[in-house]
């Protein structure tokens, strides 16, 4: 899954939790569902630069779609 948006790397990493699940807060994905660093249930890029490389590694252009809320045309 690829997310886009304002401060998306920072926001996503907050939702994911720390790389070490023992350091992750309850309510984060890693805090709730991981038990050790080596068996991670989710990956999140640490920067926009890393994200761009990783997205091109795992996804083709035909697999990426720009999502837009139906309310966008009403608001903007």
Tally of domains in the chain: 1
Cα–Cα dist 74/63, whole Å = 28
Whether residue 68 is predicted with pLDDT greater than 90 in this model: the reply is: no
Q: Under a CB-based contact definition with an 8 Å cutoff, are residues 22 and 8 in contact?
A: no
Summarize the confidence of residues 6-18 as an average pLDDT. 95
Active-site choice (43, 46, 49, 59): 43
The answer to the question of residue 50 being in a domain is yes
Whether residue 69 is predicted with pLDDT greater than 90 in this model: the reply is: no
CATH label of the domain that carries residue 62 = 3.30.70.141
Q: Quick one: pLDDT at residue 37? A: 86
The per-residue pLDDT for range 31-55, each reduced to its tens digit, is 999 988 888 789 999 999 999 999 9
Q: Is 65 a catalytic residue?
A: no
The answer to the question of residue 3 being in a domain is no
Cα–Cα dist 60/53, whole Å = 12
- Average pLDDT, rounded, for the chain: 92
Q: Quick one: pLDDT at residue 51? A: 95
């Amino acid at each position: 899954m690829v997310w886009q948006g304002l401060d998306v790397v920072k926001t996503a990493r907050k939702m994911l939790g720390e790389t070490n699940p023992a350091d992750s807060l309850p309510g984060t994905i890693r805090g709730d569902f991981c038990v050790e660093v080596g068996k991670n249930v989710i990956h999140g890029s640490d920067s926009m630069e890393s994200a761009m490389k990783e997205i091109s590694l795992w996804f083709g252009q035909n697999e990426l779609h720009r999502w837009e809320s139906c309310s966008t045309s009403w608001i903007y």
